[in-house]
Structure 1
Amino acid sequence: MNLATRWIFPLLLGMSLLWGATLAHAAQMIATATEGAHLRSGPSTRYKVQWELSRGFPLQVIGNKSGWYKVRDFEGDTGWIARSVTNRQAHHVAKVEGLNIRSGPGTSYRVLAKARYGEILRTLGRQGNWVKVKLGKVTGWTSKRYLWGW
Protein backbone atom coordinates (compact mmCIF):
# COMPACT_ATOMS: atom_id res chain seq x y z
CA MET A 1 0.00 0.00 0.00
CA ASN A 2 1.44 3.37 -0.94
CA LEU A 3 1.13 6.66 0.91
CA ALA A 4 -1.71 7.93 -1.31
CA THR A 5 -3.83 4.83 -0.67
CA ARG A 6 -3.22 4.76 3.09
CA TRP A 7 -3.46 8.44 4.01
CA ILE A 8 -4.23 10.93 1.28
CA PHE A 9 -7.35 9.36 -0.26
CA PRO A 10 -9.05 8.70 3.10
CA LEU A 11 -8.14 12.24 4.20
CA LEU A 12 -9.61 13.75 1.01
CA LEU A 13 -12.75 11.62 1.38
CA GLY A 14 -13.20 12.77 4.97
CA MET A 15 -12.70 16.41 3.98
CA SER A 16 -15.23 16.12 1.15
CA LEU A 17 -17.80 14.54 3.51
CA LEU A 18 -17.22 17.30 6.05
CA TRP A 19 -17.50 19.98 3.32
CA GLY A 20 -20.76 18.42 2.07
CA ALA A 21 -22.21 18.32 5.58
CA THR A 22 -21.23 21.96 6.11
CA LEU A 23 -22.91 23.02 2.85
CA ALA A 24 -26.06 21.04 3.65
CA HIS A 25 -26.24 22.59 7.11
CA ALA A 26 -25.64 26.11 5.79
CA ALA A 27 -28.55 25.81 3.36
CA GLN A 28 -31.05 24.57 5.96
CA MET A 29 -34.11 26.81 6.15
CA ILE A 30 -36.73 27.05 8.88
CA ALA A 31 -39.70 29.33 9.54
CA THR A 32 -41.29 30.67 12.69
CA ALA A 33 -44.24 28.49 13.74
CA THR A 34 -45.80 31.06 16.07
CA GLU A 35 -46.71 34.74 15.97
CA GLY A 36 -44.29 36.90 17.97
CA ALA A 37 -41.43 34.37 18.13
CA HIS A 38 -38.40 35.92 19.81
CA LEU A 39 -35.07 36.24 18.06
CA ARG A 40 -32.47 36.58 20.82
CA SER A 41 -28.84 37.64 21.10
CA GLY A 42 -27.82 34.23 22.50
CA PRO A 43 -29.02 30.62 22.84
CA SER A 44 -31.30 30.86 25.89
CA THR A 45 -34.16 32.92 27.33
CA ARG A 46 -31.58 34.75 29.49
CA TYR A 47 -30.43 36.67 26.40
CA LYS A 48 -31.96 39.91 25.18
CA VAL A 49 -34.83 39.77 22.67
CA GLN A 50 -33.59 41.46 19.50
CA TRP A 51 -36.80 41.12 17.45
CA GLU A 52 -40.28 39.63 17.54
CA LEU A 53 -40.99 37.79 14.32
CA SER A 54 -44.28 37.10 12.55
CA ARG A 55 -45.51 33.58 11.92
CA GLY A 56 -43.90 32.04 8.82
CA PHE A 57 -40.81 34.29 8.82
CA PRO A 58 -38.10 32.34 6.94
CA LEU A 59 -34.66 31.99 8.48
CA GLN A 60 -31.44 30.32 7.37
CA VAL A 61 -29.82 28.08 9.99
CA ILE A 62 -26.12 28.84 10.44
CA GLY A 63 -25.56 26.96 13.71
CA ASN A 64 -27.27 25.29 16.66
CA LYS A 65 -26.76 24.72 20.36
CA SER A 66 -28.88 22.94 22.98
CA GLY A 67 -32.31 23.33 21.38
CA TRP A 68 -31.56 26.70 19.78
CA TYR A 69 -30.80 27.65 16.18
CA LYS A 70 -28.39 30.41 15.24
CA VAL A 71 -30.06 32.00 12.21
CA ARG A 72 -29.72 34.66 9.52
CA ASP A 73 -32.63 36.62 8.03
CA PHE A 74 -33.10 38.06 4.55
CA GLU A 75 -31.26 41.26 5.47
CA GLY A 76 -28.25 39.38 6.87
CA ASP A 77 -29.08 40.00 10.54
CA THR A 78 -28.29 37.11 12.90
CA GLY A 79 -29.66 35.88 16.20
CA TRP A 80 -30.85 32.81 18.09
CA ILE A 81 -34.31 31.25 18.10
CA ALA A 82 -35.69 28.34 20.12
CA ARG A 83 -36.13 25.24 17.96
CA SER A 84 -39.56 24.70 19.58
CA VAL A 85 -41.04 27.80 17.90
CA THR A 86 -39.92 26.85 14.37
CA ASN A 87 -40.97 24.45 11.62
CA ARG A 88 -39.98 23.54 8.07
CA GLN A 89 -43.01 25.02 6.32
CA ALA A 90 -41.66 26.81 3.22
CA HIS A 91 -42.02 30.59 3.10
CA HIS A 92 -40.42 33.51 1.28
CA VAL A 93 -39.95 37.20 2.05
CA ALA A 94 -40.39 39.96 -0.54
CA LYS A 95 -37.01 41.62 -1.18
CA VAL A 96 -38.57 44.55 -3.06
CA GLU A 97 -41.35 47.06 -2.48
CA GLY A 98 -44.45 46.51 -4.64
CA LEU A 99 -43.71 42.89 -5.59
CA ASN A 100 -46.23 41.78 -8.22
CA ILE A 101 -48.27 38.66 -7.43
CA ARG A 102 -49.57 37.45 -10.80
CA SER A 103 -52.29 35.05 -11.96
CA GLY A 104 -49.69 32.82 -13.67
CA PRO A 105 -45.94 32.16 -13.89
CA GLY A 106 -44.88 34.94 -16.27
CA THR A 107 -44.94 38.69 -16.82
CA SER A 108 -47.81 38.43 -19.32
CA TYR A 109 -50.23 37.36 -16.56
CA ARG A 110 -52.31 40.00 -14.78
CA VAL A 111 -51.28 41.38 -11.39
CA LEU A 112 -53.57 40.17 -8.59
CA ALA A 113 -51.85 41.89 -5.66
CA LYS A 114 -48.64 43.57 -4.58
CA ALA A 115 -46.44 42.60 -1.62
CA ARG A 116 -44.52 45.10 0.48
CA TYR A 117 -40.78 44.82 1.21
CA GLY A 118 -40.31 42.28 4.02
CA GLU A 119 -43.79 40.80 3.66
CA ILE A 120 -44.06 37.06 4.28
CA LEU A 121 -45.41 34.83 1.51
CA ARG A 122 -46.39 31.17 2.00
CA THR A 123 -44.63 29.04 -0.64
CA LEU A 124 -46.98 26.70 -2.50
CA GLY A 125 -44.94 25.56 -5.51
CA ARG A 126 -42.38 26.37 -8.17
CA GLN A 127 -42.20 26.47 -11.94
CA GLY A 128 -38.86 27.47 -13.43
CA ASN A 129 -37.93 30.89 -12.03
CA TRP A 130 -41.45 31.48 -10.72
CA VAL A 131 -42.81 30.70 -7.26
CA LYS A 132 -46.46 30.09 -6.45
CA VAL A 133 -47.27 31.96 -3.24
CA LYS A 134 -50.12 32.84 -0.93
CA LEU A 135 -50.38 36.40 0.36
CA GLY A 136 -53.36 36.78 2.66
CA LYS A 137 -56.31 35.43 0.66
CA VAL A 138 -54.56 35.84 -2.72
CA THR A 139 -52.79 32.92 -4.38
CA GLY A 140 -50.57 33.73 -7.35
CA TRP A 141 -47.12 33.68 -8.89
CA THR A 142 -44.05 35.90 -8.49
CA SER A 143 -40.49 35.94 -9.77
CA LYS A 144 -38.02 34.00 -7.63
CA ARG A 145 -35.35 36.69 -8.05
CA TYR A 146 -37.32 39.14 -5.89
CA LEU A 147 -37.74 36.66 -3.02
CA TRP A 148 -35.64 35.31 -0.18
CA GLY A 149 -36.40 31.98 1.46
CA TRP A 150 -37.16 28.55 0.07
Structure 2
Amino acid sequence: MTQLKFRADRGFVRAYRMIAAVSVLLLLAGFTPQAYGAERGSVTNLPLPRYVSIKSAEVNVRRGPSLTHRVDWVFKRKDMPVEITAEHGHWRRVRDRDGAGGWVHYSLLSGNRTVIVDQDMLPLLSRPEQNAPASAQLEQGVVARLDNCTADWCRLSAGGYRGWAPKNALWGVKLDEVLE
Protein backbone atom coordinates (compact mmCIF):
# COMPACT_ATOMS: atom_id res chain seq x y z
CA MET A 1 0.00 0.00 0.00
CA THR A 2 2.82 2.40 0.79
CA GLN A 3 4.38 1.64 -2.58
CA LEU A 4 1.15 2.54 -4.42
CA LYS A 5 0.93 5.83 -2.58
CA PHE A 6 4.56 6.56 -3.46
CA ARG A 7 3.84 5.96 -7.16
CA ALA A 8 0.83 8.28 -7.08
CA ASP A 9 2.97 10.96 -5.46
CA ARG A 10 5.71 10.45 -8.09
CA GLY A 11 3.13 10.86 -10.85
CA PHE A 12 1.91 14.05 -9.26
CA VAL A 13 5.48 15.35 -8.96
CA ARG A 14 6.14 14.50 -12.62
CA ALA A 15 2.98 16.32 -13.73
CA TYR A 16 3.85 19.31 -11.55
CA ARG A 17 7.36 19.47 -13.04
CA MET A 18 5.94 19.25 -16.56
CA ILE A 19 3.52 22.14 -15.90
CA ALA A 20 6.32 24.21 -14.37
CA ALA A 21 8.59 23.54 -17.36
CA VAL A 22 5.90 24.52 -19.86
CA SER A 23 5.15 27.67 -17.86
CA VAL A 24 8.83 28.68 -17.90
CA LEU A 25 9.04 28.06 -21.66
CA LEU A 26 5.96 30.20 -22.27
CA LEU A 27 7.37 33.03 -20.17
CA LEU A 28 10.73 32.83 -21.97
CA ALA A 29 8.88 32.97 -25.30
CA GLY A 30 7.22 36.22 -24.21
CA PHE A 31 3.78 34.86 -23.41
CA THR A 32 2.09 36.80 -20.63
CA PRO A 33 -1.65 37.11 -20.02
CA GLN A 34 -1.35 40.89 -20.44
CA ALA A 35 0.37 40.55 -23.82
CA TYR A 36 -2.65 38.73 -25.19
CA GLY A 37 -5.40 40.83 -23.63
CA ALA A 38 -6.19 38.10 -21.12
CA GLU A 39 -6.15 40.45 -18.14
CA ARG A 40 -9.67 41.38 -17.05
CA GLY A 41 -11.02 43.97 -14.66
CA SER A 42 -11.98 42.52 -11.29
CA VAL A 43 -15.23 44.53 -11.22
CA THR A 44 -16.48 44.65 -14.83
CA ASN A 45 -14.66 41.63 -16.29
CA LEU A 46 -13.80 43.87 -19.26
CA PRO A 47 -10.31 43.80 -20.78
CA LEU A 48 -7.51 45.80 -19.18
CA PRO A 49 -6.16 48.11 -20.34
CA ARG A 50 -9.00 49.60 -22.41
CA TYR A 51 -9.90 53.03 -23.74
CA VAL A 52 -12.88 55.19 -22.76
CA SER A 53 -13.55 58.93 -22.76
CA ILE A 54 -14.20 61.63 -20.18
CA LYS A 55 -17.93 62.29 -19.80
CA SER A 56 -17.99 65.88 -18.49
CA ALA A 57 -16.04 69.13 -18.80
CA GLU A 58 -14.46 68.81 -15.33
CA VAL A 59 -13.38 65.52 -13.80
CA ASN A 60 -11.35 65.21 -10.59
CA VAL A 61 -8.43 62.79 -10.72
CA ARG A 62 -7.69 61.46 -7.26
CA ARG A 63 -4.65 59.87 -5.69
CA GLY A 64 -6.65 56.79 -4.61
CA PRO A 65 -10.00 55.09 -5.23
CA SER A 66 -12.30 57.04 -2.87
CA LEU A 67 -13.61 60.55 -2.16
CA THR A 68 -11.32 60.78 0.86
CA HIS A 69 -8.23 60.73 -1.35
CA ARG A 70 -6.71 64.03 -2.43
CA VAL A 71 -7.51 65.48 -5.86
CA ASP A 72 -4.19 65.59 -7.72
CA TRP A 73 -5.49 67.37 -10.82
CA VAL A 74 -8.60 67.92 -12.97
CA PHE A 75 -9.43 66.90 -16.54
CA LYS A 76 -10.83 70.03 -18.22
CA ARG A 77 -11.92 68.61 -21.56
CA LYS A 78 -15.05 66.61 -22.30
CA ASP A 79 -14.58 63.60 -24.62
CA MET A 80 -10.85 63.33 -23.89
CA PRO A 81 -9.75 59.70 -24.39
CA VAL A 82 -8.17 57.95 -21.42
CA GLU A 83 -6.93 54.44 -20.81
CA ILE A 84 -8.34 52.42 -17.91
CA THR A 85 -5.54 50.42 -16.28
CA ALA A 86 -7.22 49.14 -13.09
CA GLU A 87 -10.58 48.85 -11.31
CA HIS A 88 -11.55 49.06 -7.65
CA GLY A 89 -15.25 49.12 -6.77
CA HIS A 90 -16.81 52.16 -8.49
CA TRP A 91 -13.38 53.63 -9.29
CA ARG A 92 -11.17 53.31 -12.36
CA ARG A 93 -7.48 54.11 -12.53
CA VAL A 94 -6.90 56.02 -15.76
CA ARG A 95 -4.00 57.60 -17.62
CA ASP A 96 -3.91 60.13 -20.42
CA ARG A 97 -1.74 60.35 -23.52
CA ASP A 98 1.12 61.86 -21.51
CA GLY A 99 1.03 59.05 -18.93
CA ALA A 100 -0.46 61.21 -16.17
CA GLY A 101 -3.11 59.38 -14.24
CA GLY A 102 -5.06 58.67 -11.12
CA TRP A 103 -8.44 57.42 -9.95
CA VAL A 104 -11.78 58.59 -11.40
CA HIS A 105 -15.32 57.58 -10.41
CA TYR A 106 -16.82 55.35 -13.11
CA SER A 107 -19.86 57.60 -13.56
CA LEU A 108 -17.57 60.31 -15.00
CA LEU A 109 -16.38 58.04 -17.81
CA SER A 110 -18.13 57.19 -21.07
CA GLY A 111 -17.90 54.19 -23.36
CA ASN A 112 -18.03 56.56 -26.36
CA ARG A 113 -14.69 56.15 -28.06
CA THR A 114 -12.54 59.11 -29.03
CA VAL A 115 -8.93 59.51 -30.12
CA ILE A 116 -6.30 62.25 -30.09
CA VAL A 117 -4.52 63.04 -33.34
CA ASP A 118 -0.79 62.46 -32.79
CA GLN A 119 0.41 63.79 -36.16
CA ASP A 120 0.26 67.42 -37.22
CA MET A 121 -1.90 68.18 -40.27
CA LEU A 122 -3.13 64.59 -40.53
CA PRO A 123 -5.15 64.16 -43.74
CA LEU A 124 -8.67 62.82 -43.23
CA LEU A 125 -9.11 60.60 -46.27
CA SER A 126 -12.30 59.68 -48.13
CA ARG A 127 -11.31 55.97 -48.22
CA PRO A 128 -8.92 53.83 -46.17
CA GLU A 129 -6.22 54.09 -48.83
CA GLN A 130 -2.97 56.06 -48.76
CA ASN A 131 -3.66 57.84 -52.08
CA ALA A 132 -7.37 58.64 -51.48
CA PRO A 133 -8.43 62.31 -51.63
CA ALA A 134 -8.44 64.22 -48.33
CA SER A 135 -11.62 65.89 -47.07
CA ALA A 136 -9.84 67.77 -44.27
CA GLN A 137 -6.61 68.01 -42.30
CA LEU A 138 -6.53 67.60 -38.54
CA GLU A 139 -4.06 69.40 -36.32
CA GLN A 140 -2.08 67.53 -33.71
CA GLY A 141 -4.03 67.34 -30.44
CA VAL A 142 -7.50 67.34 -32.04
CA VAL A 143 -9.97 65.05 -30.28
CA ALA A 144 -12.03 63.10 -32.81
CA ARG A 145 -14.89 60.65 -32.39
CA LEU A 146 -13.96 57.11 -33.35
CA ASP A 147 -16.52 55.45 -35.64
CA ASN A 148 -14.79 52.18 -36.55
CA CYS A 149 -11.38 50.67 -37.25
CA THR A 150 -9.93 48.08 -39.58
CA ALA A 151 -6.52 46.49 -39.09
CA ASP A 152 -4.67 49.68 -40.19
CA TRP A 153 -7.25 52.48 -40.52
CA CYS A 154 -9.83 54.25 -38.35
CA ARG A 155 -12.88 56.21 -39.48
CA LEU A 156 -13.12 59.46 -37.54
CA SER A 157 -15.44 62.43 -37.28
CA ALA A 158 -14.30 65.85 -36.10
CA GLY A 159 -15.53 69.39 -36.71
CA GLY A 160 -18.26 68.27 -39.09
CA TYR A 161 -15.81 66.27 -41.22
CA ARG A 162 -15.67 62.51 -41.53
CA GLY A 163 -12.95 60.34 -43.03
CA TRP A 164 -10.23 57.75 -42.59
CA ALA A 165 -6.85 58.11 -40.88
CA PRO A 166 -4.01 55.65 -40.30
CA LYS A 167 -4.35 54.01 -36.90
CA ASN A 168 -0.68 54.59 -36.02
CA ALA A 169 -1.25 58.39 -36.12
CA LEU A 170 -3.85 58.24 -33.31
CA TRP A 171 -3.79 57.84 -29.52
CA GLY A 172 -6.78 56.13 -27.94
CA VAL A 173 -6.97 52.93 -29.97
CA LYS A 174 -4.74 49.85 -29.81
CA LEU A 175 -2.81 48.99 -32.96
CA ASP A 176 -4.31 45.47 -33.01
CA GLU A 177 -7.86 46.65 -32.22
CA VAL A 178 -10.64 46.27 -34.80
CA LEU A 179 -13.93 48.10 -34.14
CA GLU A 180 -17.16 47.74 -36.08
TM-score w.r.t. the length of structure 2 is 0.68
Residues 87-134 of structure 1, C-alpha deviation per residue, up to 9 Å, x if partnerless?
A: 222221111222221222122122222222222111111233110001
Find the counterpart in structure 2 of residue 117 from structure 1. 140
* Helix, strand or coil at the partner of 2:82: strand
Find the counterpart in structure 1 of residue 97 from structure 2. 74
**Is 1:28 the equivalent of 2:50?**
yes
Contact 1:32 1:53 in 2 (8 A): no
* Helix, strand or coil at the partner of 1:56: coil
Residues 2-21 of structure 1, C-alpha deviation per residue, up to 9 Å, x if partnerless?
A: 114368649x5xxx997632
Runs of 4 or more, structure 1, over 6 Å off, are: none
**Is 1:90 the equivalent of 2:113?**
yes
Q: Which amino acid aligns with 1:78?
A: G
RCO higher in 1 or 2 (8 Å CA, sep ≥ 6)?
1
Contact 2:125 2:136 in 1 (8 A): yes
Cα offset, 1:139, TM superposition: 0.8
Identity level (%):
18
Contact 1:25 1:62 in 2 (8 A): no
* Helix, strand or coil at the partner of 2:39: helix
Distance change (3 Å), C-alpha of 1:110 and 1:86? same
CA distance in 2: counterparts of 1:139 and 1:82, whole angstroms:
32
CA distance in 1: counterparts of 2:51 and 2:18, whole angstroms:
34
Cα offset, 1:64, TM superposition: 2.2
Structure 2 portions without partners, runs of 5+: 1-7, 24-30, 174-180
Q: Which amino acid aligns with 1:118?
A: G
Find the counterpart in structure 1 of residue 59 from structure 2. 37
1:55 aligned residue (69, 78, 86)? 78
Contact 2:60 2:71 in 1 (8 A): no
RMSD, matched Cα: 3.0
Q: Which amino acid aligns with 1:73?
A: D
TM-score w.r.t. the length of structure 1 is 0.79
Residues 36-58 of structure 1, C-alpha deviation per residue, up to 9 Å, x if partnerless?
A: 23333333344225132422222
Aligned residue pairs, count: 148
Structure (1 or 2) with the greater strand fraction: 1
Distance change (3 Å), C-alpha of 1:109 and 1:56? same
